[in-house]
Structure 1
């Protein structure tokens, strides 16, 4: 540490000794000046007093100070600055003492500043100052070489990590776009999911989510009894069967028709049954990904359940994307009707409290409602009303709450799965 201090003092002493002209000169002789730029030096534009003031004083309005210092001072080309403020390339202009900018240089002028002599940049002073600066920089480089090396390595690692992150984002966006195209063209997996849901419902087994891949159908169920062939119980609430297998024909019996929509893909396509929502779904986290999820759900409703009425409450960014053409536009959450809930509804955990209900309508809320609106929304879309809602935002009291991540992932805590959402 002492060695570094000695080297730094040596550098400072060398810098002082290198500028004798500055030390010995009278304060009135050494001034700060700037040379008016050519248009090539100024990005193709003619230089002006406001630009010079902005660069060297940090305030365009201080151009008047430069004008006062240089009014009528003769320049080498025979011209002089007038009240018009017009300057010519190559003119040397005096600057206020606090000037600190890219054009600031030290100069020496004669004591008779109003005479006909030119203001001159002192080459010796400039060279001495440049030498002092170089010496100081070299000394600092020796003293802080390790710290500078670490800084360079850290910046390189940050650049490399940033490039890798951008590459991952691009790959993720391509994967989400491919998933969106796959969803638009896929007819097989929605049919398999609906068939499996109807099969289970006919056997008094209700599935609130299904995942379909190339070989297997997986169902998250509420039944507490053993499955029948071709279903196999992986756990108490997760059943599977081969995608090509079929159970006995459904017997009907007034079961609630499923309302399946796709959330995303990850080791298969994940479907959720909105008849199980029986309340409000809040999609929180990344707003862009949440909007993509809602747009995809609405596209599936338009495709598979065009009979379900959709109500829309726009937000500051407008209405949610993907709304059906026949969607009903509401001005506020307060316009949602409040019907008496069906008997037998209760509170508690999602799978215990929720019940499959025939849906009467779906409301899509494009932004977080106010506390008063939230209270009205939860009452209008409460258990047993048949009216459900999807809210973009983290709504307290929502029955289901999904988490949308910035990388396009969507986490469903109710079933412990994370999927990739297709992009719009």
Structure 2
């Protein structure tokens, strides 16, 4: 290190007033002209005793009030020159601090560790976060007393799934882990819904070897268990609360002209959300309130629901950029979930422990980052593990084989992001995450490394992580090695499923996604793109569709004993009227079973009927009541059965119009079906309106939000109508084709294929009045759906121009 003399220049770390916490990179950029020269500052000051008694041992760990010696060519108004032996220009305290600091010079190169950041420490170190208060009692979470805060968790009951994993049982415990991760399960469930809808559209376009009417059921028992765990464990309400709370905060700060504060973590309870700030940032905007200390902001769930401004406030929040997309669940303590903001950590987050346990932590983090509902644009890079997890979010998740490839990418990206910040005059990506230009800034990039770095790779990775916090980049690394270079926080996962960070007094029940659970979840997604069978069946494709799981015997001997109409309303015949106070829930359970002919697990039914939870005894009493209501068939067999897998299923004697429609569609799609037109006509006649019309308005049936049937039903009805119109047009029956398409529009009003077929069928009638009427109706229908200023789709407009060439001129004249 350079000697401290009269020409030496020094910099005192500034508090984060009006900006985010200082970094060596930022200091080097301001005073040396190049952020990469932060290493010189580090080497000049490593292991020197600072005014608060601690030492600089990591390039990322600096705190306000510290004194840094600068290279001789440093420039800038914030620098001061040490006044040699004449300290009259300083206050007594400042003079003492500079003298003490200079006395510890020249020690950096001799410190244990041989020049490697993170070497041996000669004095007690503060927790590895740049917290100006250096007090980590708050890290025990809201309401915890004392620095440790682990008294209750030291004797925590080990989850049953972890005991199973420790014993080498890979199935049940891995799936149960999903049920203990409500935010992760909700994100996966929403992502799965998107993937299933995409698969349906591909099937409708003939791009997959399955029909629109086929079931999208999991293909293996493990995948079925994973789907059940997602349905039973997901808490979409908690995700919605977290997302709206954060976006509302962002919008409120933006309205006040304030920037987002750096947030290290969030603690999410059933009724409150607590944000843990990197530094005090004043009072939060309403409806947020100050928390237990000046580094906590708190929001009660009830206060968010009653936000002044009503819809206007909600709209502003919805339009705001997701402020903290790097928040990811690590585990729970006393029923409160800790989410670490990986994007804001000033260095590497490391996970120690047995390889299987470490990978279970990384798998959970990766899956939640891939599918979280409180994020927008984001890149997640998985290194050395989890290549199959790209299926969860192909546009967000990417995989690299090794750290060498990662370093090549990230060193370039780090420089580009720094250049972007210099160009925009901002000190952090957070500064630009509010305001009108927010979508032009870099999206967060979170890196999860599942392979052990070499010594050189660890040094380079640590150097990148040490300057990553202002750039929107975060690093989570699994390692056998403690004290990685650039380390900020070091967690250890135990075989009992606990996640510990002793320096911060943290002990959590870890959120895990073991290998078996990860494989089962991935199978749910990957299986959607590997459909079997033939085409949709209505367009004449080759091969026979695999068909639905349950088909109805349409002969006289297959007449059902119980028949439910769920398309266009909900009526049930063949069952006695239940007690009025229990009727609604029994009918809802029946509807759930009718839409899942392969069966419904009791815990999935409980989650559907009691979204906020229910005890096992209440659930079991209800299931017994449901079985009694459904009764027995003519042969004396129960109409509600329990399979070997524990799932509840209806007997073949209980049928719905949805079952009949799918059966007719499946039979009509068989090659050479002589009565195709008749079957399609019968199927279309069943589709009288929206599925379970009028039921959701009464407050139940929230589980339908996660059902594929809402997307499948209109696509299937449209496919039936298009197939029937094709039959009629081939026979020269334009009017019948027109009526078939108009009938289907009641169930599929937004399907552009039906709009275009309606024009073709009207034109085929040869009746100009029918054609003009169809064009008028379509124009008005489109305006009602999307507003009068939204133009018709290009293909629909082109058909109108073809069939009614003078119409556009007339429309322009009228407007």
What TM-score results when the alignment is normalised by the length of structure 2?
Answer: 0.27
Structure exhibiting the larger radius of gyration computed from Cα positions: 1
What TM-score results when the alignment is normalised by the length of structure 1?
Answer: 0.49
